[in-house]
A and B are shown apart, each in its own frame.
Chain A
Amino acid sequence: MSGIIQLSPLDLSFAALLILALAGLSIRLRLGIEKRILISAVRTVIQLTLIGFVLKALFASAASGWVALMALTMLLAAGYEVTSRQKHKLRGAWGFGIGTGSMFISAFTVTFFALTVIISPEPWYAPRYAIPLLGMLLGNTMNGVSLSVNHLTQNVRSHRSVIETRLALGQTKSEAIADIRRESIRTGLIPIVNAMAAAGIVSLPGMMTGQILAGNLPLDAVRYQIMIMFMVSAGTGFGTLAAIWMTSHRLFDDRDRLRLDRLRS
């Protein structure tokens, strides 16, 4: 780590001025989102500061129990976020359960794979590697899962008569919903696939930028970024598949009836 330039609170307040300017523009143009901009900005400051302290303590202790607790908290927060982004949620605990479950299956498996097989820190759960990696996986998987599940439930609602006609003609639930399911999975995967295609040309991914700013050699940063891109795409893909599979099954009952009453209107 060769001399990174430290940022003082004063430096950050200059950056904050830009956000204030944006909020001002929102008021001026009556966009109506100034409140959300400001609240989100404040949340960024508070959440990141808190996580800074948490990570500092975590890196100092590196006990497996604390790492597990941290990972669990992140998972539940991602599950909550997925649920709150749904226009039509599954009733009961299903929405949260399926979102959280699919992210657990994919993000945790992929992170574990990356830590044990690819990076191999000592111990494998070393928080300096485990927590940022899991964070990136959960963040992206969360986007894929929430986009695709939202697409699924909205389309099942709007294509109800098509699905029921197909059922009435003797198709199984999987046949009747196959097209919508495929499209939903695609919707969830397109952002991350596009990000892979545009990486390095249009955008410098955040993690690589961070490493370069922190003084690492660009080629080292690139290798990490390639690994992350692959992990994140795979994690998003597996998570999206799992969430769509579970959600679409929940939308039918054991007699292959479409059960829109299981969605909140």
Chain B
Amino acid sequence: MSRLVTEGLRTICGGPFSFSVERGECVALSGPSGCGKTLLLRALADLDPAEGDVLLDGMSRNEVPAPQWRRRVGWLPAESSWWFDRVGEHFSKPWKKSDESFQWLEKLGFQREVLDWKIERLSTGEKQRLALFRLLLNEPQVLLLDEPTAALDHMNVGLVEDFITTYRRDAGAAVLWVSHNPEQIARMADRHFQFAGNGLEAVQ
């Protein structure tokens, strides 16, 4: 059974989209700006009303309370948002201060002290990496990544790519990765879809 299945999903500017992503598979999405990539990811996370159905391990999104669905189908917006003063406060709920989580932080290039940092001292790239960490604390089974490395320098792109690959293998997570960078797509993706007209078309 496929991890993520989309059946006739329509966003306000595109669709119907029907495709599936397997366990541990990474599918790249590309296309010009404004063609509805973000809207597709939002619809998959059930953040916008959208016709059609989305299934996770065979279970429809409507059978699961929305907050639970979003913990399993995790969306990482292109721009991260922070609302408390310090980094650590944003992790209070799902934050298990286990060693594994700290190892994750280190793999993303941070020390434990980052938890006490004030948000205003973070760079855009640091926020992006910490937002990824925050999302993965939910241990989602599907990752919807909207240009997750757009604000990162070369070295940190490598860190994030490795980190996501490891997580995807270990958790058997299905990954949808929006990227504009052909090299990154070649490095990361098992398959590649391009936005064409109202739907998607496979790129060889």
Contacts and interface: CB of A to CB of B under 8 A. Distances in A.
B70 A169 contact: yes
A179 B83 contact: yes
Nearest to A164: B47
B135 A161 contact: no
A165 interface: yes
A30 interface: no
A165 B66 contact: no
Contact of A170 (B48, B71, B82, B83): B71
A265 to B, nearest CB: 16
A169 B83 contact: no
B71 A162 contact: no
Contacts of B94: 169-170
A166 interface: yes
A161 B45 CA distance: 14
16 contacts: A164-B47, A164-B77, A164-B81, A165-B81, A166-B83, A167-B47, A167-B67, A167-B70, A168-B77, A169-B71, A169-B135, A169-B138, A170-B70, A255-B49, A255-B66, A257-B49
Q: Chain B's interface: helix, strand, loop or mixed, by majority?
A: loop
Interface in A134-177: 159, 161-162, 164-172
Nearest to A259: B49
Interface in B53-99: 66-68, 70-71, 74-75, 77, 79-83, 93-94
Interface residues of B, number: 24
A228 to B, nearest CB: 39
Contacts of A166: 83
Nearest to A258: B47
A256 interface: yes
B126 interface: no
A257 B47 contact: yes
B46 interface: yes
A220 interface: no
A162 B18 CA distance: 30
Interface residues of A, number: 18
A183 interface: no
Given A256-B66, A257-B66, A169 B81 contact: no
A255 B47 CA distance: 8
Interface of A: 159, 161-162, 164-172, 179, 253, 255-258
A172 B45 CA distance: 14
Contacts of B37: none
Contacts of B10: none
A257 B46 contact: yes
Contact of A161 (B46, B66, B74, B77): B77
Nearest to A172: B67
A166 B91 CA distance: 11
Contact of B46 (A162, A169, A171, A255): A255
A172 B65 CA distance: 10
Contacts of A165: 77, 80-81, 131
A255 B74 CA distance: 16
Nearest to B82: A162
A208 B46 CA distance: 56
A162 B47 contact: no
